[in-house]
Structure 1
Amino acid sequence: MSDSIPLFEIPWDESDISNVVSSVSRGSYWAKGPYVDSFEDGLEAYFGIKHALTVNSGTTALECALRACDIGEGDEVLVPSFTFIATANVVRLVGATPVFVDIEPETYGLDPDSVRESITDATAAIIPVHVYGAPCRIHELAEIADEHDLYLIEDAAEAFGARADGELVGTIGDISALSFCQNKILPTGEGGAVITDDDELAGSVAAFRSHGRTSSNYFDSVDSGQYERVGSNYRMSDMVAALGCAQLEKVDTLIDGRRETAEQYIEAFDSIGGITPHTGRSSDTHVYQLFTIQFNDKDARKSVISELTERNIACKIYWDPPVHRTNTFSSIAPSDGRLATTESLSDVVLSLPMSPNLSSSAVGRVIEGVSTRL
């Protein structure tokens, strides 16, 4: 049997190891240490933004963003269904209601026209997702949010470094969530961050992620501290931040590697009928957190999955079912065909192996496996 090709591999080098060893061997400040400060400073510099606040996952980053915007009971939040379930879960976690809105077929992101049609007096925010590493139509969505005085909370979990018309995603909305989960552009195992230029929103996130504390660092102060609001412990540990610092130093190289791998796929699939790679808009920069192809029909996808599995090549469907068809959210799913594009795309997408250092021979094996059944 041929060596397996995993869906992704985590890129690491000696800098990752040395940073973690440095954090551990310090013997102190494992919870709130200097690497956390350095990572946040590095993120602020990378995005050119005033505030980056690290947390323990992309999910808690989204929750913190919603709480900072004071979204809660009685509010509606417009979200895609074609996304990881966390995007809708966090809306429920803060007591608000997710309203599922359709996507458009070029970026797989929220359809601005569908967003306009879904706004009601109860709408408080829009959460667009930059799917698979491709920017959605974020500038159009920003205009809609401004027109209706809504918060725009970017879910940029899959799109670190992606650019919409030259502008980094995550810097366009009022506040944004990043993820550093193990399969993301900048991986630390788990972890996330909230980024914003708004001082008030940043202050709210900083307090909520650390039990609602608004006074000095708990571990450095003599007193017990002052707590101004209900909060939780969503802090990132110093060891995770140590990995983040090392990964951030090479993130542009990691993105270049992903884009080079994607180009190999795209060039090969251009001459193969029956599939269309997801490449986003030509005016944007796709970072290919996932490399995904769209089939003409569901049976073709099923056949290719079977072939790749026989060849020991990993693949995965993101997302079928979409969120509104999961048991958790089916009771509030629209039943009038408003999610037609979401429904049709979820039936025919498939993500292939993608890593910044995926070898040309591995890419060739994947291409051969896909083309065999088409």
Structure 2
Amino acid sequence: MSWKIPLFKIYWDESDVENISNCIKSGMYWAEGPVIQEFEALIADYIGTKHCVTFNSGTSAQHAALLAYGIKEGDEVIVPSFTFISTANSALFVGTKPVFADIEEETFGLDPDSVLENISSKTRAIMPVHYGGCPCKIQELREVADDYGLILIEDAAEAFGAEINGKKIGSFGEASMLSFCQNKVITTGEGGALVTNSEEIYQKLKLLRSHGRADNTQYFSSTQTSDYIALGYNFRMSSLTAALGISQIQKTAEIIKLRRERASYFISRLKKEVENNVHFSEIPKSYFNVYQLFTILADKRDELKDYLAGRGIMTKIYFSPVHLTYFYKNILGYECKLPVTENLARSALTLPMHPCLTFDEIDYISNEIKNFYGD
């Protein structure tokens, strides 16, 4: 369907085209090489970590993180259900059990109190999600992880550039996953990364993403015979993807500025005109939200979604709880009591948000929401 106002558009310019073109014209290093190393260095410097390893997706990065930390069958990993399904699935990939804790209403992230209630003797890690570009209560979760000797792996797929008191999201955990899928703050179409301060984990991640190959030479341009010392996967990011990432990351500040301006205007319009029917979370002032998603809590959510679709405005439900999906409920047999998750999921609706969204388009959307509620 062709939408009058789509949910998102990709922010790009000629530097993206130029970087990819230069990579293509080089005639080599399309699969590995200096471009990837440059992108990794830029990411690590931006987040404020010692190391970065890129992957072909955020899901692959998250999978590799659990493998690198030796999380396995018999272990448990605490995750939210209010997330994209890959957060929970990555635990299944390594044979461990995802345990769902509830979320809190301020940031839509894991509730530290619910996490405490779900810690068992089998718990090895906590994997919180920074929902929609808003930091979760990661400082409190850091304290819980420290108190119980647990690994904290941030799912920062939606929060590139978000901060708490000037400290970048992605720098609180032992490791943090980033995603560069097409609707993220910066994008390479598909792609992901894992950042960490651990040299040991860094070395393991490099083995995991490339078949367990032990050498530090460029495989495709070296005569050296490689040795394979561990089980690994083909999780590599291509150089073409990394070239796009290099140009995208240089636009991060502008992209975030544009998103925040549009979100602020959206909030002011909706609070003024439909404050009785549309609600927002009130996040702490020290939290810097990058608005990868712009989600409202709406009365008669499903009817509003259909109404807006009829007027060419795309919206989407981010997210339907993972524990209520057919796979988790009927195949895996999950039965969870997550009242906040289920309550918020019944009213959450994500509206269009991207750097190119015009203020006239925001006015149109706001007016149609106002018309729906008859205010």
The question of a shared fold, defined as TM-score above 0.5 by the shorter chain, is answered with: yes
| Residue 243 of structure 2 is aligned to residue 248 of structure 1 | no
SS in structure 1 at match of 2:99: strand
What is residue 265 of structure 2 aligned with on the other side? 264
The question of whether the paired residues in 2 share the 8 Å contact of 1:324 and 1:332 is answered with no
Amino acid of the structure 1 residue aligned with 2:289: H
Per the alignment, in what secondary structure is the counterpart of residue 70 of structure 2?
Answer: coil
Aligned to 2:6: 6
* Amino acid paired to 1:25: K
Structure 2 residue aligned with 1:361: 360
| Equivalent residues in 2 for 1:44-193, closer than 5 Å | 44-193=44-193
Segments of 4+ in structure 1 off by > 2 A?
Answer: 277-282, 331-335
Letter of the 1:45 partner, please give it.
D
Partner deviation per Cα, 1:248-295 (whole Å, 9 max, x = no partner)? 011110011100010011111112221113453322000000000002
| CA deviation after TM superposition for structure 1 residue 303, in Å | 2.2
Identify if the C-alpha distance between structure 1 residues 209 and 370 changes in structure 2 by more than 3 Å, giving closer, same or farther: same
Please name the residue that 1:22 is paired with: 22
State how far apart, in whole Å, the 1-side matches of 2:7 and 2:355 are.
Answer: 12
Distance (Å, rounded) in 2 between the aligned partners of 1:189 and 1:53 = 17
Match in the other structure for 1:295: 298
Shift of 1:175: 0.3
Aligned residue-pair number:
367
1:59-94 deviations in Å (ceiling 9; x for gaps): 011011111111111100000000000001110001
Opposite residue 323 of structure 2, the aligned amino acid is H
Tell whether the 8 Å contact from 1:277 to 1:294 is kept in structure 2 after alignment: yes
Secondary structure in structure 2 of the residue aligned to 1:328: helix
Assess if the C-alpha contact under 8 Å between 1:7 and 1:314 holds in 2.
yes
CA contact 2:317–2:349 (8 Å) conserved in 1: yes
**Distance in 1 of aligned mates of 2:301 and 2:89:** 28
Q: Match for residue 349 of structure 2?
A: 350
Tell me if structure 1 keeps the 8 A contact 2:130–2:159. yes
**Who is 2:339 aligned against?**
340
Q: Does structure 1 retain, via aligned residues, the 8 Å contact 2:266–2:366?
A: yes
1:3 deviation in Å? 7.0
Q: Could you tell me how far apart the structure 1 residues matched to 2:39 and 2:350 are?
A: 30
Deviation at 1:332, TM superposition (A): 4.1
Query: What is the Cα deviation at residue 153 of structure 1?
Result: 0.3
Match of 2:215 in 1: 215
Distance 1:266 1:202 in 2: 41
SS at match of 1:224: coil
Deviation at 1:306, TM superposition (A): 2.0
SS class of match (1:259): helix
Q: What is the rounded CA distance, in whole Å, between the counterparts of 1:269 and 1:362 in structure 2?
A: 13
SS at match of 1:158: coil
Match runs of 1:320-335 below 5 Å: 320=320, 322-330=321-329, 331-335=332-336
Aligned AA (1:329): Y
1:215 Cα offset (Å): 1.1
Structure-1 separation of matches of 2:197 and 2:249: 20
Distance 1:233 1:87 in 2: 20
Q: Is the 8 A contact 1:278 1:292 kept in 2?
A: no
Contact 2:79 2:88 in 1 (8 A): yes
Mind listing any 5+ residue stretches in structure 2 that lack a counterpart?
A: none
- 2:304 and 2:298 map into 1 onto residues whose CA distance is 10
User: Taking structure 2 as the reference length, what is the TM-score of the superposition?
Assistant: 0.96
**AA paired with 1:7?**
L
The verdict on how the C-alpha distance between 1:279 and 1:183 changes in structure 2, with shifts beyond 3 A counting, is farther
Closer/same/farther in 2, CA of residues 204 and 340 from structure 1, 3 Å limit: same
Kept in 2: contact 1:16–1:246 (CA 8 A)? yes
User: Is 2:285 the partner of 1:282?
Assistant: yes
Q: Which deviates more from structure 2 when the two are superposed, residues 38-47 or residues 121-130? A: 38-47
> Which amino acid in structure 1 is aligned with residue 267 of structure 2?
I
Deviation at 1:327, TM superposition (A): 1.5
- 1:226 equivalent to 2:227? Answer yes
Report the alpha carbon displacement of residue 371 of structure 1 after superposing the two structures with TM.
1.5
CA RMSD of aligned residues (A): 1.3
